[in-house]
Structure formats: structure tokens, C-alpha cells
Chain A
């Protein structure tokens, strides 16, 4: 009789006032391309493409049953995470508890291009999850993993002091971005080929406009 879907508003990007918690996923977006993060958070743009849809599917079928997986490992899926200290909020795909120690696992469709940058983005997001888990459980979290859906492989990520520093820097950069009114310039490189926001971003336009103006005045 009462449709639950009906009473919830459509999913929209999290409100992003400077003092409000940042969505964990935005850290990965920002690392990949600051303009992409700004389009999502400042302009409210979201377009799906083949890759994002696959990503959504991969998250839907995080196909590990909740609960006791093997000796001593408790698995929680879609676990709400937050950090009061850093102003973060979001969810972890999977958190395994190995003898009580949380171990975040993030699911990725894999083979985003350029691979180096996509990997860095995923690592920053995973590290931010670890920072949340440390605050929530009062324990240090030294390791997590990225699971590639396509290769069905896990890659262990160590939360080194360097990665932690990068993650903290990304958090403040993202916060700064949300305070400014203007979008960062487009990347206009190989990243754009696989970006679902290509159509709204129009990375080639600023340069093309300059070239056009130059032609008019010459």
C-alpha cells in the first residue's frame, strides 16, 4: 500500500556545503579529475556511461554473503562510514573483520584509463575509508584491498604515511574546490575518452574558442 520508493527522493549528489561532511566517493573523483568532481558536486551533473553502469552493477553484486565467511572473518557489506574529525561520510562496499580488525575492500570494475591515475584514485578513496574505520573503531587500520571485478583479483593496499598524507591533502583540496564558484579547467587528455561527463564537460571547447577568437582578430 505504501510504496517505500515513493517516499524517498531521487538519489542526488550529497549536499556539499563546506562545513558538511564530504562524500567518500568524491575523493576518488577529485583525484581522477578535479573538474569531474566539481561537475558532480557543484553543478549537480551526473551522466552514466558503459563504465559507470558497469561500476554500479559491480557494486550491486558484491557477491559475498554477509556474515561469517571463513574462520575468524566477519564480513559487512555496504557499511556506513564516517569521520567526525575529517568531515567525511559514505559507505564501504565491504569491510572484513579479521579477528576484530577492520579491513576495507573496495570493488572496482577495473581497467579505467589511464591506469595509473585510476589506481591512485581508488587508493585514496580506500585510505579515506581506513581513516574513518580507525576513528569509528579506535584501532589502526594498516591494510585494505581493491577488488577488480573483471580479473576477480584482489590487490592489497598498504596505508603508508605517504598515502595517508596524499589522502589528507585531497580532502582539503576538495573542500577548497567546493568553496570556489568556478569549475577547474578541463583535463583535455586521455582521461576524457572514458569519462561519462564528456558531454557536459566539453573539454575541447575552451581551446577551440580561443583559436576561433584568434582567427577573428587576425
Chain B
């Protein structure tokens, strides 16, 4: 599956060969030409897994300042082509300036939280539609509405974090009501270590999603550690965690719920250690990874694009929109909101 998003060509088909043919990029697979793309249409290449690129195409990309980034098949960032024109310095400079500027930091934090709240609301609304309202669901929906109303008036990062925190605790208080299978219970979020199967699963899926968001930011040349909503700490991918807020409920939590409600995971996929720490076992991790990869390949409608885009590309799209906003090319950053 290959697609162009914001002029970045994403190649996810394994065994594809890319080469330069005049001023055109030729995509070949087993000696068959799949497609020709004029180079001047492209802003960058994102290559997942076993994708071969001819040296001459790489030379040309370096010369023209076309961004080339490599990812593993599962989406982990591997490296980026560094040509003589290092445009990233301007992007990173803009990122750090925004970080030093309280109003742009606040603006971005608000947008990430807005995305989180709207997507969480979708998950709650769907549950109410499908299964009727419970007290906890009604309260969580109310908290999300309230937080969304107050968010634009927030004056500081702490206020934004407070609104997010309130909504999140109401959300997790209702999350147990979304589980159909009697086998699993959920009495609130805990981690380090998770202490029940649902929390173990959430932690694992969030970890998968974090790598996707980190990779996407690396891919466009943003510093994944320099976040706006999350506090800065060495080794912590604060911006990846910021970006992830948009996807937690819509992608990770929904995947978690469908794995449990469709009984693709049972208690046998978990291991409980003495004292109460709970982990997915190897078989369980396999089930989750396969489901996660399948979801990456499904397509959805992004509010800003006509064509449906694969779920796996959403973090890349959002990272690029963020980069465009930071460079002043876009007047706003629009978080992804599903439907």
C-alpha cells in the first residue's frame, strides 16, 4: 500500500524497488513498474521495512533536499537521509522557539488536549449508543463536555493539564462499563507495574503507539523529546506523548476494547506475578501486535484530506501538519479527530 500524503510518498509494500528515471521516481516490484511519480511532486519519502532505493535516487533526493526517512516494518524510526541542505535546523529552531514562547506552548497543548477530549468523547458516545447509558458513562461525557467548553479559556499549561486530568479520571472511571466480557474487570488506571489484565494491555498498546508517534516526529525532523503539554525530561519523548493524546482513545483504547470484547484475548494471555503485577505473556503480545498492525493498514477519512488514509499514517500526517504549523506555513494546528 503506497500513498501520497502532503507530498510525502509512503512505501509500505515489502520488496519494492525505487529508482530514478530521468526526473521521475519509478516504483518497481518484481520487475513490474507499479507507478511513476514526477520528483517535483514530492516533498519526501518514508520507507517502511524492506524497501530498496537506488543510489542515484538517493543522490538526487539529497541534492534536491527531499526528505528520506527509513522505518522498520512495524514503524520504528531507523534513520534519515542527511543531504547538504539541512532544512531541519529551521524546523527545530522554530520548535524550540515555540517551546520558549508561553502562548504558542499553551496553544499547542490546548490543541493536543482538544484532540484527546473529542476522541475520548467519541468512544464514550459510541458505548452509550450501543449499550445504553450508565451513571459513570453519563458523568464522563459530562466531564468531557465541560472540559471542552473550558479549554479555550485556559490561561496556563497547568490549567490545561488540570482539565485533561479531570476528564481522564472520569473516562477511566467509566472505562470498565465498556467491557462486555465478564472475564475482565477494570477499576481504574494503574501502571508501573500494571496490576490487572486490562491495565497490562493498555500499557502495552500505549507503548506500541508511542513508538509510532516518536517515529513519525523523527521522520519529519522534529525533536520527539521537546514537547509542549508534557514536561521535559531526559529520555522522555514528551512531544511523542503530546501527539499520542489524539490517538489514545480513538486508536489504542478502542483496539483494547475490541480485543477483549471479541474475546481475542482471554485470561490465559496474561501472567500474574506474586504481589499482583500483571503482564501480557508472549502469546498475548503476539495477538496484540498482529491486531495493531492490521489496524495500521485500515483506511479512515482525515478531516483535511479527500482521499482515505491508512491509520498507520495518521501520526505521520499529524507530525507533518505540526511541522508546517511551527514553520509558519499553516496558521493553525488541527488535531486528528475520528468519527
Contacts and interface: CB of A to CB of B under 8 A. Distances in A.
A7 B291 CA distance: 14
A44 B275 CA distance: 30
A136 interface: yes
B234 A3 contact: no
Contacts of A206: none
Interface in A1-44: 2-4, 6-9, 12-13, 15-17, 21, 42-44
A80 B275 contact: yes
B334 interface: no
A177 B109 CA distance: 27
A97 B237 CA distance: 38
A17 B275 CA distance: 25
A136 B286 contact: no
Contact of A15 (B74, B235, B275, B279): B235
Contacts of A109: none
A76 B272 CA distance: 12
Nearest to A45: B234
Interface in B111-134: none
Contact of A2 (B210, B273, B274, B286): B286
B236 interface: yes
A97 B274 contact: yes
A30 B193 CA distance: 23
B210 A9 contact: yes
Interface residues of B, number: 29
Given A17-B233, A44-B235, A4 B207 contact: no
A133 interface: yes
A50 B314 CA distance: 44
Contacts of B146: none
Contacts of A6: 72-74, 76
Contacts of B235: 12-13, 15, 44
Interface string B280-305: 00100110011001000000000000
28 contacts: A2-B289, A2-B293, A4-B285, A4-B289, A7-B289, A8-B207, A8-B211, A9-B207, A9-B211, A9-B214, A12-B235, A12-B236, A13-B235, A15-B236, A16-B233, A17-B233, A44-B234, A74-B274, A79-B274, A79-B275, A79-B277, A80-B193, A80-B279, A81-B275, A95-B274, A97-B274, A102-B274, A137-B275
Interface of B: 72-74, 76, 192-193, 207-208, 210-211, 214, 231, 233-237, 273-277, 279, 282, 285-286, 289-290, 293
Interface of A: 2-4, 6-9, 12-13, 15-17, 21, 42-44, 74, 76, 79-82, 89, 95, 97, 102, 133, 136-137
